[in-house]
Amino acid sequence: MKKYLIGLACAALAGIAVYLMAVFMPRTYDVPQLVSKQGTQYWQLPTGSRIAYWKLPARAPGKPYPVIYLHGGPGGFINGRNVETLAPLTDDGYDVYLYDQIGGGQSDRLRDISAYTAERHVRDLAEIVKAIGAGKVILIGQSWGAILAALYAAEYPERVDRIIFTGPGPLPPMRAELMDIQAPDSLKLRQPLYSNQQANAHCANIRSRAMAWWAETFNLKIASDQEADAFQTVLNGELNKSVVCDTAQAPVAEAGGGFYAQVMTVRSLAHLADPRERLRDSTIPVLLIRGQCDSQPWGFATEYLERFPDHRLTIIPDAGHSAYVERPGLYTSAIRAFLAGDALNLDQGTGAVR
């Protein structure tokens, strides 16, 4: 019996040792490396954030207010497709700014990961608007970027001329009951073939789960930014399948995702002051773009339409959560038509509503 117990104890210790090695031993991933993009400039903001950005100057007589693009994530980054898709706005007289939010892309990583919060991103955006020097701005927010645009509009409505929400995520704190709201049949929405849950299940490992847990629980990094961001690149490669209607059109994974910015900013949303009352009956004109196969529950979009009564809704056919990937022409045309005050007619039985 004694030998049996000793053997059992040894087996348990061996199991614990294997588990601890899996949790704490650094891992490497065969992923693309982050490279500096042509034309990169930097803002050193009073918040302490060093932010990489790109300016596309107007190529026609200038409009009074510039466009600022807010990428998805959190922990996302600007890629070449974003620049190419929005470049036509410069032909309409708009200066266009795109930037990597703190913790992603070519912007700095923070030593104190507890500082990755939604409030920090709003403060950074407020300082960026000041740095640009425009009286007002036009915001284009994709997914998490739409949430950020709404939070900024709640704080600084007088500085926002118009907003384009594309594939918006849920206003925080998230209202779970909105997930059960069904879209009108007339919109002909479809479910994507691949989900975020599938992507996370496919990529997660013991160490990546531990990285997230230690960050969320103790504000600690058990992996370097380099390792954590490499894992984020692997994960983004799978998540890219969930943002399109046709998984064959999924973008190839690129380096730039910020793991800790993603984990900690998402954590902060649950503790955020509710912006809904400040957005009640907002007078800011809004365009809301959704792909026909957007993975976000329809109910999340309805909140934006309720909070911003002066709205237009456009469904992009045969496009997913990132509608600009599969239908870049329609995506850009919808934005240009909205900014010009024109109507937009789309094909395949879907189109602009209001």
Which residues fall within 8 angstroms of residue 341, CB to CB, at 6 or more apart?
Answer: none
How far apart are alpha carbons 338 and 43 in whole angstroms? 30
Q: Is the peptide bond before 173 cis (omega within 30 degrees of 0)?
A: yes
**What are the counts of helices (DSSP H) followed by strands (DSSP E) for the chain?**
12, 9
127-149 mean pLDDT:
97
Confidence (pTM): 0.93
Share of the chain above pLDDT 90, in %: 85
Tokens of 182: 């069904």
Show the beta-strand stretches assigned E in the chain: 41-44, 50-56, 67-70, 96-99, 137-142, 160-166, 286-291, 311-316, 352-353
Identify the structural domains of the chain with CATH numbers, from first to last. 41-193+272-353 (3.40.50.1820)
pLDDT band at 17 (very low <50, low <70, confident <90, very high): low
Over the Cα atoms of the chain, what is R_g? 22
Does 122 or 1 have the greater pLDDT score? 122
Q: Are strands 352-353 and 286-291 parallel, antiparallel or unpaired?
A: unpaired
How far apart are alpha carbons 83 and 222 in whole angstroms? 34
274-279 mean pLDDT:
95
pLDDT, tens only, 303-330: 999 999 999 999 999 999 999 999 999 9
How far apart are alpha carbons 128 and 124 in whole angstroms? 6
Which residues fall within 8 angstroms of residue 334, CB to CB, at 6 or more apart?
Answer: 287, 289, 314, 316, 344, 346, 352
Q: In 3D, which of 117, 184, 110, 123 has the Cα closest to residue 144?
A: 117
Q: Is 349 exposed, middle or buried (0-12, 13-18, 19+ CB in 10 A)?
A: exposed
| C-alpha torsion angle, residues 264, 265, 271, 272 (rounded to 10) | 160
Q: In 3D, which of 326, 347, 324 has the Cα closest to residue 336?
A: 324
